[in-house]
Amino acid sequence: MAAQAVVITPRQDPWEMALRQYNVAAEFLPLKRGIREFLALPKRELTVNFPVKMDDGSVRIFTGYRVHHSTVLGPTKGGIRYHPDVTLNEVRALAMWMSWKCAVVGLPYGGAKGGVIVDPKVLSLDELEHLTRRYATEISILMSPEGDIPAPDVGTTPQTMAWIMDTYSMHRGYSTPSVVTGKPLSIGGSFGRVEATGRGVMLVTREAARTLGMQLSGAKVVVQGFGNVGSIASWLLADQGCTVTAVSDTGGGIHNPRGLDPRAVLKYKEERGTVAGFPGADRVTNEQLLELPCDILIPSALEGQITAQNAPRVKARLIVEGANGPITPDADEVFHGRKVLVVPDIVANAGGVIVSYFEWVQGLQQFFWTEDEVNQNLERIILRSFSQVMSTADEKRTTLRTAASIRAIQRVAEALMTRGIYP
């Protein structure tokens, strides 16, 4: 019998996704034409090409980006991504989503994002430091505690933020901890920041399940992407009584219908570099994992993972976006038609930027909070925001994604009109 051909669907352009989501929500708002156009466009974009000296003495040229989508509500806030597939359109989309994320949860920030086209896994620690310090220097014309505050994202870590903070401080002549967030505690980081995004995903999952009448105890959870967000969300949901049956990372996925111990899986990954091969579990691909039987699916990898092609085979009743943009607009329509509840990224994974805001405030004041204070304030803000989005969805008879975008766009538009159009 002839082998069946494998059809590879090209990944949808993230910027097209972001604009389509924006336009759907904007239709609900009485925006003037010029204002609607202005809010759709990035305020400024920086592309940098820079050399890095490698361990063997050679020099490689890397390309990086920093995009500011909006500065209406305050300084721009957004992570820095190190990944071989980084594109300018991806960074544009992520910056726009950051604008809406900050607005919908009530933070005084605009949205930004940065990225470097690089596979950080193939660089030595010294090479990563050299790349980071040079990239930080290149984008320092935009960066400041009052203007643009980076944070970690895919492929970057608290150590990356420490290098950026130190580089910026060397240029200023004094220590400036509030120029980045997500940095280590020893140099002004915040308690609870590492766990913040995953904790927010857990809190929103808990509330969304409650609206569906779904008991968390015994609910089967599948998590795509066992990085900072997915791993923490996994063990926090397990603590709530969920049964985590499958997880994955770039090396592949593992599945055990009787349940996995997320903390044991995380320890295995720290030792081996991947979850693949974890004892007592079957191996699955990232694509297969999305279609496994479960009650709750948490896509926490990259954007564009669930499309119109595989959405009909997703079996979850509740999907909570741990990643930014993992579901395409066409897939959203499939889920809406099937009455699958999707909690959008700009609400579900906002825990990271909420606690980044706390870290920034603490750094500016040099007055630090306890972990309990951080977690209590995170829970208060993210649950309030989820409740407001649910109310808007009911009122407008639309999806949670569109409702969240409506609230966010409306807040930015009102602020813009109140400030006025310069000059």
Per-residue pLDDT of the chain (423 residues; tens, 9 = 90+): 333 333 344 578 999 999 999 999 999 999 998 999 999 999 999 999 999 999 999 999 999 999 999 999 999 999 999 999 999 999 999 999 999 999 999 999 999 999 999 999 999 999 999 999 999 999 999 999 999 999 999 999 999 999 999 999 999 999 999 999 999 999 999 999 999 999 999 999 999 999 999 999 999 999 999 999 999 999 999 999 999 999 999 899 999 999 999 999 999 999 999 999 999 999 999 899 999 999 999 999 888 899 999 999 999 999 999 999 999 999 999 999 999 999 999 999 999 999 999 999 999 999 999 999 999 999 999 999 999 999 999 999 999 999 999 999 999 999 999 999 999
**Inter-residue contact 116 to 44 (CB < 8 Å):** no
Q: Phi and psi for 48 in degrees, rounded to 5?
A: -125, 140
Measured CA to CA, the distance from residue 350 to residue 98 in angstroms comes to 9
Per DSSP (E only), the strands in 43-109 are 44-53, 59-68, 76-83
The reported pLDDT for the residue numbered 270 is: 92
CA 318 to each of CA 220, 257, 335: distance values in angstroms, whole numbers, following the listed order: 11, 18, 10
Q: In sequence order, which residues have a C-beta less than 8 Å from that of residue 121 and are 6 or more positions away?
A: none
Task: Residue 153: name the closest of 185, 126, 180 by CA.
Answer: 180
Q: Which domains does the chain have, with CATH numbers?
A: 42-175 (3.40.50.10860), 194-348 (3.40.50.720)
| Predicted TM-score of the model (pTM) | 0.93
Radius of gyration of the chain (CA): 21
Amino acid letter for position 2? A
In the DSSP assignment, the letter for residue 2 is P
Instruction: Determine how many CB atoms are found less than 10 A away from the CB of residue 405.
Output: 29
CA 202 to each of CA 122, 206, 287: distance values in angstroms, whole numbers, following the listed order: 32, 6, 23
The reported pLDDT for the residue numbered 261 is: 95
Q: Which residues pair with 101 in a beta bridge?
A: none
Q: In sequence order, which residues have a C-beta less than 8 Å from that of residue 283 and are 6 or more positions away?
A: 252, 253, 254, 255, 276, 277
110-117 and 59-68 strand pairing: antiparallel
Q: Which residues pair with 318 in a beta bridge?
A: 296, 341
Instruction: Determine how many CB atoms are found less than 10 A away from the CB of residue 72.
Output: 22
Measured CA to CA, the distance from residue 39 to residue 346 in angstroms comes to 17
Tokens for 326, please give them.
Answer: 């993992």
The reported pLDDT for the residue numbered 3 is: 39
Amino acid letter for position 393? A
**Inter-residue contact 46 to 30 (CB < 8 Å):** no
The reported pLDDT for the residue numbered 337 is: 95
Q: Which residues are catalytic?
A: 113
Residues 310, 315, 320, 322: is their CA dihedral positive or negative? Answer: negative
Cα of first residue to Cα of last residue in the chain, in angstroms, is: 71
For residue 108, cis peptide bond before it (omega within 30 degrees of 0): no
